[in-house]
Every structure is written in structure tokens, then in C-alpha cells.
A and B are shown apart, each in its own frame.
Chain A
Amino acid sequence: MQPLLMISGGIVAAFIGLLGAALIWKVFTDKIDLTHLISDENGEASLSRFQFLIFTFVIAMSLFLLVVASMSPECEKCVPKFPDIPGGVWGLLGISGGSYLISKGINKKKSNGEPGASDKGGSDQTETVKPKEPPAGGQVPA
């Protein structure tokens, strides 16, 4: 059973590793475009999105740090398991996500309420429909 476990574990690790390496390479060479990763609808950088990005990285790294620590051969008492997540961490992410949503709401109100705000794009933009010109020769299709 042990060799089978090793082989399947190795295959899964190699697959995830290659997938991740390809992803990072594509991001690095701009084949995956991250230019607007933290931009809002107007194309300017959004602080709420930036905050959400920072907290996501910090919590992901913290989780991984603890999983690695629990797998360490020096730690004899440790049992490898997914760490418990305290309420404060959810609170931190909730504050960040809530702030992002409220900020988006304020921006939306602005683009709906102000005259000329729709010039930058959005659903409230109106188009003037031009009547179709008749085809050459003056014949109108039936």
C-alpha cells in the first residue's frame, strides 16, 4: 500500500506543481493579464480591492505556515490537519469584504446620480439608433 500511496502522492504533487508553475509563468510573461487586478470600473486602482488582496495572501500564507509546522518531523506531538480558523480572522475578512461592497455601492450611486457620469461607460448609457439606409439601387427588400 505504501508504494502506491507514494506514487499517487507524487503524481498529484507533480501535477499541482506543474499547473502552478505554468500559471506563474503565464502571469510573469503577461499572457495572463493582471493589469486591472485591483482596478475599479473607471480604470483607477481601488484601495478596497488592494486590501482584500493583501488579507487573502496573509491568511493563505498563515494557513500554509501552520500546516507545514504540523507536518514537521521535529514536532512529535503534532498531527497533520487543517488548522482551526478563529472568528477574528473571519471578522477581518468580513470587514475588508464589507468595505469593498459599500465602496462599490457608493461608486454605483455616483454613476447613477450624476449627469454625465455615464460617459465613462455603464448600463445607463443610451444609444441613438440610426435608421438603416436602403440598399444601392433603391430596392427595398420585402
Chain B
Amino acid sequence: MEALTATIRFVIWLLLGGLALVVAYKMLSGRINMKGLLEDKMSGELSPGRLQLLLFTLIGAGSYLGMTAAISGESPTGLPEVPEPLLLSVAGSNLAYLGGKTYSRLSAAGVVNRLIDFIGKGT
């Protein structure tokens, strides 16, 4: 029975790890389209909102994986609880990204200028 368990463990590690490696390799070699990942779609320049979301995502994902690896030797019954600061920072980062994206769209459509004019006339 132990041999079967070891085989299943090996097979699943190989599949999950293999798939992650192949996807990572294709991303790095440009065979998965990464064009414009960090660019503002309107201006075509590097977007700080996108950059911060990418950093928070990688830091959050890495730290959660590290937490899981740390408790895996202590007979855990479930996945580790996500710390509130991590959850809040990922949520805040996503909000900032979406806010920036909405602003960029509205700005390109001229809505922001019209709003500023409207407020200027009102005062």
C-alpha cells in the first residue's frame, strides 16, 4: 500500500509541478502572450497601478505558499488561515488597480475634463 501511495504522490507532484513549470517557461520565453501586462491600455506607458498589483499578487502568493509549507510538518487539518493584513493588502491593491483603470478610461473619454469644468462653473 505504501508503494502505491508513494507512486500517486510522485505522479501528482509531477503533473502539478510539470504544468506550473511548462506555463512559467512559456511565459518567460514569450510563447504565452505577456504583451501589455504592465502597460496602461490608453496611454501605452508603464502603469504604476498594474505594477503594484503584480507585486502584491506575487508577494501574497509566495508568502501563503511559504506559510503552507511551514505548517505541513505539524499534522495540519486544513489550509492555513489567510492573515487579515494580507487579505486587506491584496483587496486594497485590486481596488487601487480598478480605480486607476476606471480613471484612465473616463479621462480618455473626456469625462474627467467635463466634470472639472462643471465643478469650476459651479464655484
Contacts and interface: CB of A to CB of B under 8 A. Distances in A.
Contacts of A66: 68, 72, 76, 78-79
Given A6-B1, A92-B82, A58 B65 contact: yes
B20 A44 contact: no
B78 A50 contact: no
Looking at chain B's contact residues, the main secondary structure is helix
A91 B109 contact: no
Interface in B70-86: 72-73, 75-84
Contacts of A37: 23, 32-33
A88 B81 contact: yes
Interface residues of A, number: 70
Looking at chain A's contact residues, the main secondary structure is helix
Nearest to B90: A95
A24 to B, nearest CB: 5
A86 interface: yes
A121 interface: no
B12 interface: yes
Contacts of A30: 31
Interface in A51-105: 51, 53-55, 57-66, 68-71, 73, 75, 77-78, 81, 83-86, 88-89, 91-92, 95-96, 98-99, 102-103
Interface residues of B, number: 62
B35 A44 contact: yes
Contacts of B90: 92, 95-96
Contact of B82 (A36, A75, A89): A89
Contact of B32 (A35, A65, A88): A35
B61 A65 contact: no
Contacts of B101: 103, 106
Contacts of A63: 79
21 contacts: A9-B8, A10-B4, A13-B8, A23-B19, A24-B18, A38-B32, A44-B41, A51-B94, A65-B69, A65-B72, A66-B78, A69-B73, A69-B76, A70-B75, A84-B78, A85-B79, A86-B82, A88-B84, A96-B94, A109-B105, A110-B109
Given A51-B53, A64-B13, A66-B79, 4 more contacts: A37-B33, A62-B65, A88-B81, A98-B94
